[in-house]
Amino acid sequence: MFFCGFGYDEVNDDFKMLMIAQPKAQFDGVRFFVILYSLKTNVWTQNHNVPGYINFRTMFGAGVFASESLYWTTTTEDQKDVIIAFDLTLEQFKQVPFSSEQVPV
């Protein structure tokens, strides 16, 4: 599994790419790697601020960039629909709650 997103961090004047990947050898496990690339520093860093509630297995597609964050739809472990955002300035994930009854999924 592999997901990515690309966006601009206005505060630090930097373009960044986020990569979320699960090594092929670990498809039976749950381990995912979250790695962030900075065009300004030309460095990849592993992000360790990944909340346990994110279910990467149900994520879909490339991240959508808006308001200095990358967004994906997914579900929590208890199957609630959520939007996951990765703030490119703070370099951390956050959950954006929404109801699938309000928005057709």
Residue by residue, pLDDT tens for the chain (105 residues) are 678 899 999 999 999 999 887 766 555 555 677 899 999 999 999 876 677 666 666 676 778 899 899 998 887 777 777 888 999 999 998 888 776 666 555
Extract the tokens encoding 51: 């909340």
Cα-based distances in Å from 4 to 24, 55, 71, 90, 102 = 16, 15, 10, 18, 27
pLDDT of residue 50: 72
Q: Report d(CA 83, CA 73) in Å as an integer.
A: 4
85: number of CA atoms within 13 Å, CB side?
A: 14
3-class SS of residue 78:
coil
